[in-house]
Structure 1
Amino acid sequence: MKNFNKKIILGISALVLLFSSCTDDLNTEPKVELSLENLLAQDPNAVEGLLSKMYGTFALSGPTGPGSSDISGPDPGETAFLRSIINMQEFTADGMKNRWGDDGLDQLTTASDWNGNNKFFRYLYDRVYFVVPQTTNIILALNNVDVANEEQIVSELRFIRSLAYYYMIDCFGKGVLVNESNYGSTNPLPEASRLELFEYVESELLDIEQDMPVTNTYGRANKAVVRMLLAKLYLNAEVYTGTARYSDALNYTNLVINEGGYTLANNFVSNFSADNNTSTEIIFPLIADPVVSQSYGNTTYIVNGSLSTETMPIVDFGATGGWTGHRATKAWYGLFGDLETATDVRAGLFWTEGHNFEMADYRTWEDGYPSTKFRNTSFSSTSTATEFSPTDFPLFRLADAHLMYAECVLRGAGGSQSQALDYVNAIRTRSNATAITAGELTLDFIIDERARELNLEGHRRTDLIRFGRFTGSTYVWPWKGNLASGTAIPATYNVFPIPQTALEANLNLTQNPGY
């Protein structure tokens, strides 16, 4: 088991009375049995549990196991941050579809009929506004007590808050800005624009970058993690603010690659196996463990959701159950050519037996190929099948940084064309794919290679928007716009609707145009 997971669970167990969801109010405050200041004054080591709880909220649904949730929802497992990222980033895009149709999931998987009453939009929105006030509250408490390594802990909390805000910027385009200056305000906070949120997150990350350690405990942020989030913020700046910042993205990507100390793992599959905590490539993981951090919303959602006893030997992938839910579409596996003859290791991670190449009906399990990219089995040793996944989710990894560098070069940010080619070919040859030539390295190639390398890792919708291919008819995929052959969707869909519950809780908020 991973040591950091034990800290998360110990922290959560100690803090169940400190945190509870009040997400009907954007100015979320914890219900406290003992003030944070008094708790930390009595036991300064409790700060480790508080910090662990905030890291854990990206992978776990709640404080007391898989049946609990920090935010409201009829099914706690649905409310986890990572599950929301997969729903919003993958199912809405071209590579993956889900067949369940649960109360709004159809609208995501077909990119149609979006509105502010869809519970899946609310789960991500509410999760952000659980993380943001809670981290702020801890930061304020630390201003009044003395604990060991306080400056670094505060910087990590500011990173966690910035990461939550990043998804608000990317997914909803606006929100409210909660920080130390207005925390606990009794008046509804004003709406913050996408630019205002962008500039705040940028300033926070720039401010903490130098204070972050070069290395840190596994699962916690270090200097490279902060730089990677900055690089992603700048990579998408033209979408978020109207001003391109590719040179800044290149600069921070370069720092991640050259100073982070990470190297590509020798084997692609090892990054998505149960022992991926030993990977040399993963920059920032969301930790999973089948015993001490059980969740239906971490990688368990990806692994079990992609398996089924109807057509697959699930034990081969280390699972005890299959949920018969997620399948890839030809928009993903079609990028590898003929899967039977492809030498690319990544092409072999689709289960084709008993399944159809065409997704004539996204509700039919046999239509489309399930992805076995994530699995519960260990790569380097034997393992036992588990109900909950032991596989960490690589939110940031080095291969992504390599592809980001190449994209920035191609977008005119400077850098080295030959270095960009080397980075891309290092990724491809690692997977036994054919190296490309300088003439083949184009932006069209990059968006396809990002699909081959990074699909199911929470980037796809953002990538397609950055390349101008998400909305409209420039690029269609199976079931886009709720047609089997795909059709155009409105530019409105480049951001999600603000949940109706948020609009009702704070009248200063306005709905995104078109909804």
Structure 2
Amino acid sequence: MKLNKLKIILLSFALISTTSCLNELNTEPEYLLTLEQLLESQPNAANGLVAKVYASLSMSSAKGPGEADITGDDKGETVFLRGIINLQDFTADGMKNRWGDNGLDQLTTTAKWTADNKFFRYLFDRVYYTVPQANALIDAFGKVNINNKEQYVSELRFIRAFSYFYMIDCFGKGVIVTEKDLANPVPKGQASRKELFEYVEGELLAIEPTIAKTTEYGHVNRATVQMLLSRLYLNAQVYTGTARWNDAATYAKKVIDEGGYSLDTNYVKMFSADNNTSSEVIFPLIADPIGTQSYGNSTYIINGNTGGSPSTLNPAVLGIKGDGWGGHRATKAWYGLFGNSLTDYNGGSASALAATQDQRGKLFWQTDHQYEMTDYKTWTDGYPSTKFRNLRTTGNSEATDFSGSDFPVFRLAEAYLTYAECAIRGASTANVGQALTYINELRGKRTASQINAGNLTLDFILAERGREFNLEGQRRTDLIRFDKFTGGTYLWPWKGGVKDGTAISANYNVFPIPNTALSANPNLTQNPGY
């Protein structure tokens, strides 16, 4: 079981009893034993306590899928990973959801966003649930003497920085709370996007030299830290106004040269139930059908792409029991990229997709579905994605209620594409010749055609990132970096609530600060336009 890889130990006497994540900003979690007492009396508990903080990224609660650490109408909706898919993929060009309930329409049409949308609140609240848990453990480790303490603290500092990264990316502001604020009851002041960026950068640079180069699967290692640094620098111009292409390329190259990873020849393996054996996955969020049950990890992705009315894609085909949820479908802005153009989805067609040799283009369910998404609320308009599946690529697979396919947060392919993008943008630490080699190596592993130097443009990189990473929680960020998200330069199906797309306002480059957060901390201010 994948549970064994992460060793998530549910120590009932150590479970955190925090009930609100908006009064969380300066509240120390309560325990039946203090963390220091627990760690001193049972040093082996350290791994389980750290694992619980990891689990807060992919589970609604360590108590099980029927519970939630933060307040929500549907406990399964409150999961951090589910929030990333909702806010990064449904708001962008490649994926749409048909349910439309309580704010999902706002996301899938990229229109009429409000500060009362619960899906914005869930991600905001989840960040400020995870961060105090990391802070409390970091503080406790500083007061005890146990083996491997420095590594534990480094992993926790990463999880905290990773959480804050999404405040930078999604909301553009927030509150920086560390272990030093645990006893401070006064709400802290607002940090700007640049201040958050500098804090996250400083944390990652501080732990990079000391964190272990290799760790257990599912734990943060040096390459994971370098990947987040690379992603942070890649988007620095958006976040701070100052481009950091040189730094983004430098850290991508470190991962390529020093990380010990290699591109997987079997693309679908990285999204299957045995993806823990992939040579390419650097850092995953663990999913286990027994030990880490969640309605918000890959279970959400797979169930959402199956079933429907009429039922077209049987969940059992992807290794899941039940009827499926019938909500998610890709648009032609994703599968159209496997057509006759390397850069334009309008060059695609149903027949071109069926004929593609690219492994990535074979992961759509076309039977009984229409190529065009004439109505995003009609299940059969658009193709469900079969990219994620609860099946093993080798040996027997058993259908389960919950998915066992881990979610790959960082893969080596990202380092390749980051390096190539930085080379095109003129980074002195990258060169176009090496970039072309990396791109053709990547496309070769995906059984896609090779390209020449003339094809290596920014438009190609954006399209290739769509082919490679859609449904992995990166697309909105990519479109913003390429200045394609807002405005009318690039239109996609249902952008702005219109079938063929329409221009949207620049304020949509960040989400509104939830009204609940504004009420909880008077130092926070709303983003312009909301």
Q: Pairwise CA RMSD of aligned residues?
A: 1.2
Matched residue type, 2:312: T
Residue 335 of structure 1 aligns with which residue? 337
1:514 matched to 2:529: yes
Q: Give the counterpart of 1:471 among 481, 486, 509.
A: 486
Q: Distance in 1 between matches of 2:238 and 2:67?
A: 36
Point out the more displaced range, 467-476 or 422-431.
422-431
Tell me which residue corresponds to 1:215. Answer: 214
Q: 2: CA distance between counterparts of 1:12 and 1:229?
A: 30
The farther-off stretch of 32-41 and 153-162 is: 32-41
CA contact (8 A) 2:272 2:405 kept: yes
Q: What's 2:435 paired with?
A: 420
Alignment correspondent of 2:349 = none
State how far apart, in whole Å, the 2-side matches of 1:33 and 1:453 are.
Answer: 46
What TM-score, normalized to structure 1?
0.98
1:492 aligns to 2:507 (yes or no): yes
What secondary structure, in the 3-state scheme, does the structure 1 residue paired with 2:283 have?
A: strand
Given residue 94 of structure 1, which amino acid in structure 2 is its aligned partner?
Answer: D
Scaled by the length of structure 2, what TM-score is found? 0.95
Matched, 1:313 2:314: yes
Per the alignment, residue 21 of structure 1 pairs with 19
Report how far residue 24 of structure 1 moved: 2.8
Q: Deviations over 1:251-292 (max 9, x none)?
A: 000001100000011111111111000000000000001111
In 2, Cα distance between equivalents of 1:38 and 1:312: 52
Counterpart in 1 of 2:226? Answer: 227
Counterpart amino acid of 1:471? T
Quickly say closer, same or farther: Cα 1:19–1:423, change in 2 above 3 A: farther
Once the two structures are TM-superposed, the CA of residue 423 in structure 1 deviates from its matched residue by 1.1
Give distance in 2, aligned partners of 1:437 and 1:12: 56
4+ runs of 1 displaced by more than 6 Å?
none
AA at the equivalent of 1:458: G
Equivalent residues in 2 for 1:340-419, closer than 5 Å:
340-414=354-428, 415-419=430-434
SS of the aligned residue for 2:137 comes to helix
Contact 1:21–1:30 (Cα < 8 Å) also in 2: no
Q: Could you say what secondary structure the match of 2:410 adopts?
A: strand
**2:468 aligns to what?**
453
The answer to whether the 8 Å contact 1:253/1:404 transfers is yes
The residue matched to 2:211 in structure 1 has which SS? coil
Q: 1:114-152 CA deviation, whole Å, 9 max, x = no partner?
A: 111000000000000011111111111111111111111
The answer on whether the counterparts of 1:37 and 1:142 sit within 8 Å (CA) in structure 2 is yes
Distance in structure 1 (CA, Å) of the matches to 2:12 and 2:452: 54
Contact residue 44 and residue 146 of structure 1 kept, 8 A: no
Equivalent AA in structure 2 for residue 144 of structure 1 = K
Query: In 1, distance between residues paired with 2:239 and 2:296?
Result: 28
Q: Aligned to 1:368, what secondary structure does the other structure show?
A: coil
**SS of 1:103 mapped into structure 2:** helix
Q: CA deviation at 1:39?
A: 1.4
* Alignment check: 8 A CA contact 2:3 2:292 kept: no
1:126 match: secondary structure: helix
Give a deviation string over 1:88-130, Cα, whole Å, max 9, x none: 0000000000001120111011111111100000000000001
Check the 8 A contact 1:11/1:52 in 2, yes or no: no
In 1, distance between residues paired with 2:223 and 2:11?
27
CA contact (8 A) 1:4 1:219 kept: no
Q: Does 1:286 align with 2:300?
A: no
State the one-letter code of the partner of 1:270: K
CA change 1:427–1:14 in 2 (3 A) is farther
CA distance in 1, matches of 2:449, 2:289: 37
Aligned to 2:2: 2
Alignment of 1:41-440 (within 5 A): 41-308=40-307, 310-321=311-322, 322-337=324-339, 338-414=352-428, 415-440=430-455
Q: Could you tell me how far apart the structure 1 residues matched to 2:299 and 2:110 are?
A: 24
Secondary structure, in 3 states, of the residue corresponding to 2:502? coil
Verify the 8 A CA contact 1:357 1:369 in the aligned structure 2. Answer: yes
Matched letter for residue 456 of structure 1? L
Deviation of 1:41 (Å): 1.8
Equivalents in 2 of 1:187, 1:477: separation in Å? 45
> Higher mean Cα deviation, 290-299 or 34-43?
34-43
Query: Runs of 5+ in structure 2 lacking a partner?
Result: 340-351
Give per-residue Cα distances to partners, 1:364-387, cap 9 Å, x unaligned. Answer: 000000000000110111101111
Q: Which moved more, 1:360-369 or 1:343-352?
A: 343-352
Per-residue deviation at 1:13? 4.4
Q: Structure 1 residue 36: deviation in Å? A: 1.1
Quote the Cα distance in structure 2 between the aligned partners of 1:437 and 1:32: 60
Task: Please say if residues 369 and 380 of structure 2, whose CA atoms lie closer than 8 Å, have aligned partners that are also in contact.
Answer: yes
Identity, % of aligned positions: 60
Q: Could you tell me whether the CA contact under 8 Å between 1:4 and 1:217 is conserved in 2?
A: no
CA distance in 1, matches of 2:369, 2:496: 23
Contact 1:262 1:281 in 2 (8 A): yes
Q: Counterparts of 2:279 and 2:319 in 1: how far apart (Å)?
A: 23
Give the counterpart letter for 1:344 in structure 2. D
Residue 395 of structure 1 aligns to a residue in which SS? strand
Q: 1:168, 1:175 within 8 Å by CA — same for their partners in 2?
A: yes
Quickly say closer, same or farther: Cα 1:208–1:4, change in 2 above 3 A: farther
Tell me the amino acid that sits aligned with residue 133 of structure 2.
Q
C-alpha distance in 1, partners of 2:385/2:489?
Answer: 26
Structure 2 CA distance for partners of 1:13 and 1:396, relative to 1, 3 Å: farther
Instruction: Report the alpha carbon displacement of residue 33 of structure 1 after superposing the two structures with TM.
Output: 1.9
Describe the superposition over 1:322-362 as per-residue Cα deviations: whole angstroms up to 9, x where unpaired: 11010000100111111122111211111111111111111
Q: Measure, in 1, the Cα distance between the counterparts of 2:362 and 2:141.
A: 50
**Cα distance, 1:3 vs structure 2:** 4.6
Whole-angstrom CA distance in 2 between matches of 1:495 and 1:360: 28
3-state SS of paired residue (2:26): coil
Which whole-Å CA distance do the structure 2 matches of 1:14 and 1:483 have between them? 52
Equivalents in 2 of 1:329, 1:184: separation in Å? 49
Deviation at 1:74, TM superposition (A): 1.9
What amino acid is aligned across from residue 424 of structure 1 in structure 2?
I
Conserved 8 A contact 1:5-1:292: no
Instruction: Provide closer, same or farther for how the CA distance between residues 234 and 130 of structure 1 changes in structure 2, counting only shifts above 3 A.
Output: same
Number of residue pairs matched? 513
Which AA in structure 2 matches 1:501?
A: T
Aligned-partner Cα distance in 1 for 2:179–2:399: 45
Distance in 2, Cα, partners of 1:382 & 1:66 = 26
